[in-house]
Chain A
Amino acid sequence: MKNIIQKLGVAVLMAGIAAPAFAGSITVKGSDTLVILAQKWAEVYMGAHSGVKIQVTGGGTGTGFAALQDQTTDLCDASRKIKAAEISNCIKAFGKRPTEYKVALDGLSVYVSESNPLKELTMDQVGGIFTGKIKNWKDVGGADAPITVYSRENSSGTYEFFKESVLKGSDFAASTQTMPGTAAILQAVAKDKNGIGYGGAAYGAGAKHLAIKKDDSAPAIEPNEENVVKGSYPIWRYLYVYVNPALDKGEIAAYLNWMRSDAGQKLVKEVGYYPLPAKLRE
């Protein structure tokens, strides 16, 4: 019995190790934020290069890094920068730091309900609302009503980014409703006239995107492609792909270059993110 299980285990392990080794086959795993874009890229690239097979799976950025260090995936999609612990794990597993490629830009909007009269907030006010220091809309120039805060799950790269860069590392208010995805946040904010949430700037039918001011004296900036790519809109981040440097050659390197070429970047907009500025492209 145990023997059989051991054999099965070995077979599964072999399959896992062997999978990325097939010639012309690339496996991609990681961030759920990036999975739609990664699939789009894979489809178009496979259409143009008939010998290449690309397999895309999601599961989360952390799952992607775990697979990268176990060498069960070639590319790891990430919606956040790799953490020190994950770099250490990779060095322990294959002796090198994974190579980082920036592949797209993502602007984050702050959403409120269409029926909310508010049009703009400063970064400080956004931080105050999400950390629970500001609890009523009248404190930021809205109606006299309690604020309901919606956030992503703490497993999401978006959550972490928002916490570090908008809340400056402070905790979200304990009463924050966490939703399983950007679509769910939009859904909730659209239905809740006192709600506020955040998510991709390119999403967002049904809710109003607030303009954001860096500080009290700065102009309010709308979250649109021009402002995000230019960098004048304050809440944005990169999306990444990581690769084991030993594998970064041949077909995989060609694919990575193509993602960051004009042809690859053209697809980015279609799935709700923003293309890299010209200086970062291949």
Chain B
Amino acid sequence: MQHEPHNTNSPHGWLGIHRGHKARPLEWLAEKFIFLVSLSAIFVVLLIFLFVAREALPVFLGRTDTALVQEAIPPDQIESLSPEKIQSYLALTPKQFAGMDKETLKSLMEVKQQEQDEIPAQFRNDPDARANTTEWHYLLSPHQWHGYDKPEHIWQPVGQIKKFNIIPLFVGSLKITLIGLLFAVPLAVGAAIYVSQLARPRVREIVKPAIEMLSGIPSVVVGFFALLIMATVLQNIFHYQTRLNALVAGIALGFAVIPVVFSIAEDALTSVPRSYTQAALALGASRWQTAWQIVLPAALPGVFAATVLGFGRAIGETMIVLMVCSASVMSWSAFDSARSITTTIAAEMAEAVSGGAHYRILFMLGALLFAATFISNMIGEFVIHRFKNKLEGKR
């Protein structure tokens, strides 16, 4: 390896006092390379977010239209239409429009008319057939759909009249996540207290990696296990009607969340200074009292952060929920089914017409989910940071 030529203008380069990249060019290169790699990770996250946001933008701007019945212009009237009118009628970009001959435009108009002709008769007079169901009030508030008894939140994105109410999906995601956390957090924190405070070193060496190994089980395997075995067992215990419901999904999700919560909570509990424990024990407290009344309260911000990060993991989990339950019911009951946002995106993206309203709304859900996990991870990291500083005496 040849050293780079010395910069004679540098105040330190002369007389052999080399600093920085001149002294160790290989290390300097390696360091810069690693820096670039980490920078590219941030760059990629940014790119993904920009991509998702761009695909979802037409929904936010109200540029999508799902009205079933629209005015169709017969293709033979093409001569009497102005170019601007044709372009907006066929939803073409100026570039696409410029590249098309009359024949192509005419066949596009034929397709459009054919689409209108093929609408089944019972939908022509449906009051919802002229509605643009991607407007915000259709997305968020209950609507009195034709054929239903009362206003309802409905996610039925495929069919003649597309119903895109996203509230059942949010309810589903939150419901399953909360059940998952209620199941996982007490277990994981309990295990963390045991491993960090009470267990003998030999037991700890077995239990800790065993729990952390849970995170190595592919979620599809957990989902399969839940679908075939857990669902039956839980139904036999609780005797509910719907075999695959939010409870099964939540508990299965718990298995994915336990290692996340456990390892962060265990870290937090271990980093409580030994002097706390020693002082408590010296004052006559039992090991259990020390763990429960001294160490746990001191580590509480860390445990909270573990929970928040577990929340981020749970709400983003797809496969387990997809396999176990996915009916978009508007219900908070644990014994009803639920459909999460991630499940919806994973299951429906492949069939959505690319660039269509359904496709855009799935991307919008993706953007909202991204925001939710981003915020929960930010809160988690922030609290951990504060907690570490506090224990180390920096305020």
Determine if A175 and B242 form an interchain contact, defined as CB atoms under 8 angstroms apart: yes
Q: Which residues of chain B come closer than 8 Å to A95, judged between CB atoms?
A: 100, 104
Question: Is B350 a contact of A1 with CB atoms below 8 Å?
Answer: no
B289 close to chain A: CB less than 8 A = no
CA–CA, A238 to B177, complex, Å? 41
Q: Any chain A CB within 8 A of the CB of B123? A: yes
A150 to chain B, nearest CB (A): 9
Inter-subunit contact A92/B242 (CB<8 Å): no
- In angstroms, Cα B307 to Cα A282, docked, is 63
Q: How far is the CB of B173 from chain A (nearest CB, A)?
A: 16
Asked if A170 lies at the interface with its beta carbon under 8 angstroms from chain B, I say: yes
Nearest Cβ on chain A to B138's Cβ, whole angstroms: 14
| Contacting pair A84 B115 (CB below 8 A) | yes
- Nearest B residue (CB) for A177: B327
- Decide if A163 is an interface residue (CB 8 Å cutoff): yes
Q: How many residues on chain B are close to A (CB under 8 Å)?
A: 56
**What is the 8 Å Cβ interface bit string for chain B, positions 129-141, against chain A (1 contact, 0 not)?**
0000000000000
Instruction: Say yes or no: A169 contacts B123, CB within 8 Å.
Output: yes
Q: How many residues from A make CB contacts under 8 Å with B? A: 51
Given the contacts A84-B112, A177-B327, A154 and B157 also touching, CB distance less than 8 Å: yes
Q: Which residues of A contact B115 (CB under 8 A)?
A: 84-85
- Judge if A60 is at the interface, Cβ distance under 8 Å: yes
Residues in B neighbouring A192, C-beta threshold 8 A: 243
Docked-complex contact A175 and B354, CB < 8 angstroms:
no
Query: Is the C-beta of A40 less than 8 angstroms from some C-beta in chain B?
Result: no
Segment touching B, from A62-70, A224-232, A260-268:
A62-70
Q: How far is the CB of B149 from chain A (nearest CB, A)?
A: 11
Question: Is B77 among interface residues, defined by CB-CB distance under 8 A?
Answer: no
Given contacts A84-B114, A155-B352, A191-B243, contact A177 B326 (CB under 8 A): yes
- 1/0 per position for A31-63, CB-CB distance to B under 8 A? 010000000000000000000000000011111
B92/A92 in contact, CB under 8 A: yes
Partner of B350, one of A60, A92, A177, A178: A60
Contact call A62/B241, Cβ cutoff below 8 A = no
Bound: A204/B350 CA distance, A? 26
Inter-chain contacts of B243 with A (CB < 8 A): 148, 188, 191-192
**Contact residue among A60, A85, A97, A146 (Cβ-Cβ distance under 8 Å from B356):** A85
Q: Which of the residues A91, A159, A168, A194 comes within 8 Å of B111, measured between beta carbons?
A: A91
- A32 contacts across to B, CB distance below 8 A: 350
- Determine if A83 and B353 form an interchain contact, defined as CB atoms under 8 angstroms apart: yes
Residue numbers in B under 8 Å from A248 (CB-CB): none
Chain B's closest residue to A157 (CB) is B351
Which of A91, A148, A154, A159 neighbours the largest number of chain B CB atoms within 10 Å of its CB? A154
Contact with B along A66-109 (1 / 0, CB 8 A): 10010000000000000111111101100111000000000000
A-B contact pairs, 22 of them (CB 8 A): A32-B350, A62-B351, A62-B352, A85-B353, A89-B354, A95-B104, A148-B242, A148-B243, A154-B158, A155-B349, A163-B159, A168-B122, A169-B123, A171-B154, A174-B154, A174-B168, A175-B242, A175-B336, A179-B326, A180-B347, A187-B227, A187-B228
Interface residue ranges, A against B (CB under 8 Å): 1, 32, 59-63, 65-66, 69, 83-89, 91-92, 95-97, 146, 148, 153-157, 159-160, 163-164, 168-172, 174-180, 184, 187-188, 191-192, 194
In the A-B complex, list the 3 residue pairs whose CB atoms are closest, starting with the nearest: A60-B350, A84-B115, A155-B351
